[in-house]
Amino acid sequence: LLAATAVAALAGFPAGGAVAPPEDVAADQVQVGIENSETQWNADLAAHDAAKVASYYAENGWLMAPGFTAPVQGRTAIQRTMTQLCADPNFSLTFEQNTVKASVGGNEAYSRGTFTETVSGPSPGTTITFSGTYLRIYRPESGAQAAGAGVALASGPYAVWKVVEDISAGGPPPGAPKTGGGS
């Protein structure tokens, strides 16, 4: 599709007809959308709303975090993992953006920042708090896949951007409870 679009443009012809170019979404619009979305995401985490948190991820999004035994693959599995975490009364997770960048006229954006997480410790009445760095890749998603939360921008096929990759470094010390991964 991209090659055909580019060839049409080089030849001086509009890339119309069956070949539709990617919708041009302004990069600054995407950046503001991500900033607002991640603010709401923090509120959803504070409310222990696992379903809402999972809905920020693309249907095939990946979540990779220290303490996980494997990457969590897919929105359904991410919701399952978040449900497990939110069942811990001591669980809290907050994050703060440092950087948001979006491709100009393109279909990729990312955010990077720091997080602080608290979970119950291995002994009753104890908690473990740790912090680190996260990196999220966003891409537009369309149709039924785009249901739920996300970075809502406008109408059209690229109206909602979701997280396709979410990875963090830092994390729990040795001996902290493990969190299940998988798909």
Partner 1 sequence: MPRPPVPPALAPLVVAGLALGVVLPLAACGPQPTPANQAANQLGPAYVAPTARGVDAIEAAWNADLAARNPAKAASHYSTFGDLLVAEPGVAPLKDPAAVQAQLTQLFADPNFSLSFAPDVTFVSSGGDYAYTRGHFTETLSDAAAHAKKTIRGDYVTVYEADVAVANGWTAIEHVASAQTAALAPGS
- Provide the binding-site residues for partner 1, judged by CB under 8 A: 2-7, 9-10, 22, 62, 64-71, 98-99, 101, 103-108, 110, 112, 132-135, 137, 139, 165, 167-172, 174, 178-179, 181
- Record the tokens describing residue 7, joined without a space: 């060839």
Q: What letter does residue 48 receive in the DSSP assignment?
A: T
Quote the least distance from Cβ 108 to partner 1, whole Å. Answer: 4
Quote the least distance from Cβ 163 to partner 1, whole Å. Answer: 11
Exposure of 84 in the CB half-sphere (CA atoms within 13 A): 13
Which CB atom, from 69 or from 76, has the smaller least distance to partner 1?
Answer: 69
Which CB atom, from 67 or from 121, has the smaller least distance to partner 1?
Answer: 67
Q: By CB neighbour count within 10 A (0-12 exposed, 13-18 middle, 19+ buried), where does 62 fall?
A: buried
The torsion region of residue 71 among left (phi > 0), alpha (psi -120 to 50) and beta comes to beta
Quote the least distance from Cβ 169 to partner 1, whole Å. Answer: 4
